[in-house]
Amino acid sequence: MTPDGLVDAVCRSIRDETGDLDDLVDRAVRRLAPLTTTDQRRQLRIDATAQMRGLGELDRLVDDPDIDEVLVTGDQIWVDRDGRVETAGVLHGTTVEQVIERILAPIGRRVDRTTPIVDARLSNGARVCAVVPPVAVGGASLSIRRFSEDVRSIADFTGESGEELIRAIVADRLNVVVCGATSSGKTSLLAAMLDAVDDIERLIVLEDTTELPCRAPHVVRLEARPATAEGVRPVSLTDLVRTALRLRPDRLVVGEVRSDECLALVQAMNTGHDGSFSTCHANGPLDALLRLESLVLQAAPQWPLSAVRQQLARSIDIVVHVGRQGRSRRILEICEVDPPSLDGRLGAPTVRSLACSSGGDLVVAARPNRTRR
């Protein structure tokens, strides 16, 4: 019998048994493969355990600390390592559809033709996105993004002067939006900034899918919930923002704004919840403001544009742009949002650059004029 056949045989023999998985696998390996060497039995146990836990041969890739994301299209496996996507082999003895089914079954989620997209969190914190036909025209696709429990320091993103500026922004309780492209380091930088918050402060962290590492001693984490096929209603980030305001936050943290929750967050930032944080996808600080502007208008289309701009300008103090420089994630620019004009007439939003990188270390040119402490 081939190694893959042995793995399948071991898994079939214990599929309906209960007990510690490692013990079940070990007994099955000894029973079904008594003539194999010690090394062969060890590898067989590893492969069978991985398959039973749902990820199969992807398990070793998800556990690799150097890999940020595992991608499967058809039977092709790719990984994001240090910002570079590279091939990592092919699936053996299974299909991506079977892997998706095994991953989702323990967490009570499913994906099929009526619900072809699923975004979920595994028990180890990894974020899973699966897409199947008819939405995935070329066949099912899977993305597993590792959850990092490590919190990097601010110094990993910038030089000494940039770190000093970021710490001053956090200490002064300015409202901050971190922007950047996908996988640019937004979440990692936000985690580093939260690590600089005073330990006595109470943080309420809201996310679509939990992935933000936070070591604060007083933190409440809330996660949005999608609607289910059984009719269970969704709990959106907008719902969570409103709930968070009743939980006495010292600082409100929204992992990422991408929809109607932007309006609730901006209103919260302008009603005494200073020192709040969020992230958004944007190519730069000004683009981030324009994106937030469009999200507020989407949530409140009856608002005049001037009122939206007034609200944003009074609520958001700092925009930090982060991106990749080679294989490193670095702060590229720190900008202060220009305060609203006294006559109430606002044109397009504007920002004042406090620090900028031209390919090297961040050069600090100014300090924030605004303070909320």
User: Which domain-ending residue is among 145, 175, 210?
Assistant: 145
40 and 105, same domain (yes or no): no
190 and 117, same domain (yes or no): no
In-domain check, residue 372: no
Q: Based on the structure, what is the number of domains in the chain? A: 3
106 and 190, same domain (yes or no): no
Whether the per-residue pLDDT at 200 is higher than 80: the answer is: yes
- Write the CB contacts of 334 (distance below 8 Å, at least 6 apart in sequence): 162, 165, 166, 169, 318, 319, 320, 321, 353, 354, 355, 356, 362, 364
195 and 263, same domain (yes or no): yes
Q: What angle do CA 70, 71, 77 make, to 5 degrees?
A: 95
Residue pLDDT, tens place only, 243-290:
999 999 999 999 899 988 899 899 888 888 899 999 999 999 999 999
199 and 270, same domain (yes or no): yes
Q: What is the CATH number of the domain that holds 341?
A: 3.40.50.300
Separation CA 308–CA 288 (nearest Å): 14
- What pLDDT does residue 65 have? 80
Give me the percent of the chain exceeding a pLDDT of 90.
39
Report which of 337, 100, 360, 127 is spatially closest to residue 224, judged by C-alpha positions.
127
Give me the percent of the chain exceeding a pLDDT of 70.
90
Q: Specify the DSSP class assigned to residue 155.
A: G
Q: Which has the minimum average pLDDT: 6-10, 233-237, 241-245?
A: 6-10
In-domain check, residue 370: no
**What is the SS3 string spanning 206-267?**
EECCCCCCCCCCCEEEEECECCCCCCCCCECHHHHHHHHCCCCCCEEEECCCCCCHHHHHHH
Cα 239 → chain centroid? 19
Q: What is the average pLDDT value for the chain, to the nearest integer?
A: 86
In-domain check, residue 138: yes
**Segment 73-93 mean pLDDT:** 85
68 versus 284: which is more confidently predicted? 284
* Exposed/middle/buried for residue 136 (C-beta within 10 Å: 0-12, 13-18, 19+): middle
69 and 215, same domain (yes or no): no
In-domain check, residue 122: yes
Residue pLDDT, tens place only, 111-156:
888 889 988 877 677 888 999 999 998 889 999 988 777 789 999 9
**Segment 85-97 mean pLDDT:** 83
141 and 224, same domain (yes or no): no
C-alpha distances in Å from residue 236, one per residue of 29, 258, 293:
46, 12, 20
- Write the CB contacts of 326 (distance below 8 Å, at least 6 apart in sequence): none
In-domain check, residue 373: no
**Helix, strand, coil percentages for the chain (3-state, nearest 5):** 35, 25, 45
Q: How many residues does the chain have?
A: 373
Q: Kindly calculate the radius of gyration of the chain based on its CA atoms and give it in whole angstroms.
A: 24
97 and 140, same domain (yes or no): yes
Structural domain harbouring 198: 154-364
44 and 139, same domain (yes or no): no
**Segment 20-30 mean pLDDT:** 81
**Segment 334-344 mean pLDDT:** 76
What angle, rounded to 10 degrees, do the helices at 261-269 and 285-299 form? 110
163 and 283, same domain (yes or no): yes
Q: Which residue, chain included where needed, has tokens 């996507």?
A: 85
- 320: phi then psi, degrees, rounded to nearest 5: -110, 120
329 bridge partner residues: 324
